[in-house]
Amino acid sequence: MSVTYIDAIHQAQLELLRERDDVFLYGQDIGAFGGAFKATKGLQEEFPERVLDSPISEDAMVGMAIGAAISGMRPIVEMQFADFSSIAFNQIVNHAGTHFYRTGVPVPLTVRLPCGGTPGSGPFHSQMVETLYGHYPGLLVMTPATVSDAYHFLKESVSLDDPVIFCEHKFLYRWLKTAAIDPEGLPLGVARITRPGKHATVVTYSAMVHEAVRAADRLSEEGWEIEVVDLRSIKPLDLDTVIASVARTGRLLALGEAFPWGGVTAEVVSRVVAEGFHLLDAPPMRLNAKDTPIPYHPDLWASHRPTPESITQSLRQLLNL
């Protein structure tokens, strides 16, 4: 038996519905149909009052969840694709994000965003949106790269009083498996050293963690030991673990699947430079997707985002090879 990333998300929601009367799920096609990715399969059958199909109204879906959250509920909103959360942007950043600071009343809301590219999905079903939400005060942004993190983070999202943007990577849904979910999760706010090393640090998150590990495996054949740090959440961002890693390796590659202008990789580089400049033996590097919309064709798509090849190439440059 093995558990996939999407199984973990399904399992977490099932348990949340069973454990807490205040949890409900809201999203398009999530009821009898079980959701576009089957993350809610069978849940409406067990909880007909708490698994609700929504109209195609992303703004109102989040607005509705905000209202419910300030009335004692713990809603989980499923966006069919993260890309469509652009329609809900206002409610998320201006309403949910500002509410606690303005009124003292928290908004315990979770928005699940199926993010990231899969071959053939094209410009509007592939985007990474964590940068947008990370930019705004008041929102926590989780970007799990492992099955166990997906499970524990989703459960933790619901128990937190703040709005959580839960970025789940579609590429990992069925591809990523583990024998069993770790009974103990790492706490929120702590990055993980996925692969220890000593010659360079790759700081990344979400699906790119796995691509970075592949690149590190290749370079290990040549004797290079690359450390891979999985941020796990981009807000909070665990700079301590990053700085400690850079202190060991002296070299930093910030890696992400998002567009290159600004974003998490820029944030990581700027913070490391500001707080750990003296630790760097080489200029820090960034590797992101290309600055174009995400192309449809699998051949174009595969080159749009960082790959083990392009990550390896960047690391060679970083190592002055």
Contact residues toward other proteins (CB under 8 A) are 21, 24, 49-50, 52, 54-55, 57-73, 75, 87, 90-91, 94-95, 97-103, 105-106, 137-138, 140, 160-162, 187-189, 236
User: Smallest gap, in angstroms, from Cβ of residue 46 to other proteins?
Assistant: 15
Tokens, residue 19: 């454990």
For other proteins, which is the closer residue by CB, 109 or 294? 109
Q: Does residue 236 have a cis peptide bond before it, meaning omega lies within 30 degrees of 0?
A: yes
List CB contacts of 215: < 8 A, sequence separation 6 or more: 202, 226, 308, 309, 311, 312, 315
Which among 214, 209, 142 has a CA at the least distance from the CA of 172?
A: 209
Least distance to other proteins from the beta carbon of 185, Å?
14
**Contact between residue 166 and residue 154 where contact means Cβ atoms under 8 Å apart:** yes
Measured distance CA(16)–CA(106) in Å, rounded: 20
Task: Give residue 19's identity as a one-letter amino acid code.
Answer: E
Of residues 72 and 223, the one with the C-beta less far from other proteins: 72
Q: How far is the CB of 58 from other proteins (least distance, A)?
A: 8
* Closer residue to other proteins in complex, CB, 140/269: 140
132 vs 219 by CB, closer to other proteins: 132
CB of 7 to other proteins, least distance (A): 26
**How far apart, in whole angstroms, are the C-alpha atoms of residue 55 and residue 82?**
16
CB of residue 271 to other proteins, shortest distance in Å: 13
Q: Catalytic annotation on 210?
A: no
SS3 sequence, 209-274?
HHHHHHHHHHHHCCCCCEEEEECCEEECCCHHHHHHHHHHHCCEEEECCCCCCCHHHHHHHHHHHH
Considering the candidates 10, 95, 125, 210, report the single residue annotated as catalytic. Answer: 125
Measured from the CB atom, the residue of 27 and 116 that comes closer to other proteins is: 27
* Token digits of residue 124: 């509007």
Active site residues: 125
